[in-house]
Amino acid sequence: MVLSNDKVKFPGGGTHFPDGADKYIAHLAKMLHNKDGNLSSAGKIRTVFDVGCGVASFGAYLLSMNILAMSLAPNDVHQNQIQFALERGIPATLGVLGTMRLPYPSKSFDLAHCSRCRIDWRQRDGVLLLEIDRILRPGGYFVWSSPPVYRDDPAEKQEWKEMADLVSRMCWTIASKRDQTVIWAKPLTNECYEKRPPGTWPPLCSVANEPDLGWQERMKICITPLTPLSMPGRTDLVPWPKRMNSPPSRLKELGFNEKTFMDDTIAWKRRADLYMERLRAGKQVDHDSFRNVMDMKANFGGFASALEEMKLPVWVMNVVPISAPSTLKIVYDRGFIGSYHDWCEAFSTYPRTYDLLHACNVLSDVYNHDCSSIDLLLEMDRILRPLGVVIIRDKVSLIEEVRKHLNALHWDLWSDVFDAEKDEVSDRDERILIVRKQLWQPESII
- Asked whether the beta carbons of 233 and 188 are under 8 A apart, the reply is yes
DSSP 63: G
d(CA 263, CA 274): 17
Collapsing DSSP states into helix, strand and coil, what is residue 138? strand
d(CA 199, CA 370): 47
- The predicted structure's pLDDT at residue 442: 79
**Residue 131 CB contacts under 8 Å (≥ 6 apart), including other chains:** 97, 101, 102, 219
**Residue 431 CB contacts under 8 Å (≥ 6 apart), including other chains:** 393, 394, 395, 396, 399, 400, 417, 418, 419, 420
| Cα angle 84, 86, 90; round to 5 | 110
pLDDT band at 149 (very low <50, low <70, confident <90, very high): very low
Q: What is the pLDDT of residues 71-89, one digit of tens each?
A: 998 765 545 788 889 999 9
Q: What is the pLDDT of residues 263-294, one digit of tens each?
A: 999 999 999 999 999 999 999 998 889 999 99
- Determine whether domain 242-436 maps to CATH 3.40.50.150: yes
d(CA 410, CA 350): 19
In the chain, where the domains are located: 2-236, 242-436
Average pLDDT over residues 361-370: 96
Among 250, 332, 344, residue whose Cα is nearest residue 296: 344
Give the residue ranges of DSSP H helices in 91-234. Answer: 123-135, 154-169, 191-195
Query: For the ranges 144-153, 242-251, 355-364, which has the lowest average pLDDT?
Result: 144-153
d(CA 271, CA 277): 10
State the number of CA atoms in the 13 A half-sphere of 439 facing the CB.
Answer: 2
Collapsing DSSP states into helix, strand and coil, what is residue 310? coil
Average pLDDT over residues 106-132: 94
pLDDT band at 116 (very low <50, low <70, confident <90, very high): confident
d(CA 253, CA 210): 12
DSSP 100: B
Which residues sit opposite 295 in a β-bridge?
Answer: 318, 358
Which residues sit opposite 436 in a β-bridge?
Answer: 389, 414
Neighbours of 409 (CB within 10 A): 18
Average pLDDT over residues 316-334: 97
Neighbours of 397 (CB within 10 A): 12
Among 60, 71, 49, 68, residue whose Cα is nearest residue 11: 60
| Cα angle 119, 335, 26; round to 5 | 60
Fold: same for 2-236 and 242-436: yes
Element at 8 (helix H, strand E): strand 7-9
Among 118, 171, 110, residue whose Cα is nearest residue 146: 118
Q: What is the pLDDT of residues 371-382, one digit of tens each?
A: 999 999 999 999
Average pLDDT over residues 201-226: 95
**Residue 328 CB contacts under 8 Å (≥ 6 apart), including other chains:** 104, 105, 108, 214, 298, 318, 320, 338, 339, 340
d(CA 31, CA 40): 13
- The predicted structure's pLDDT at residue 118: 81
- Asked whether the beta carbons of 339 and 371 are under 8 A apart, the reply is no
Q: What is the pLDDT of residues 404-429, one digit of tens each?
A: 999 999 999 999 999 999 998 898 99
For domain 2-236, which architecture applies?
A: 3-Layer(aba) Sandwich (3.40)
Average pLDDT over residues 142-161: 78
State the number of CA atoms in the 13 A half-sphere of 335 facing the CB.
Answer: 21
pTM: 0.94
Peptide bond into 241 cis (omega under 30): yes
- Asked whether the beta carbons of 210 and 222 are under 8 A apart, the reply is no
Element at 356 (helix H, strand E): strand 354-360
Q: What is the 3-state secondary structure (H, E, C) of 367-435?
A: HHCCCCHHHHHHHHHHHEEEEEEEEEEEEHHHHHHHHCCHHHHCCCCEEEEEECCCCCCCCCCEEEEEE
Among 82, 66, 64, residue whose Cα is nearest residue 74: 82
Q: What is the chain's mean pLDDT, rounded?
A: 92
- Asked whether the beta carbons of 120 and 91 are under 8 A apart, the reply is no
d(CA 386, CA 336): 26
- The predicted structure's pLDDT at residue 232: 46
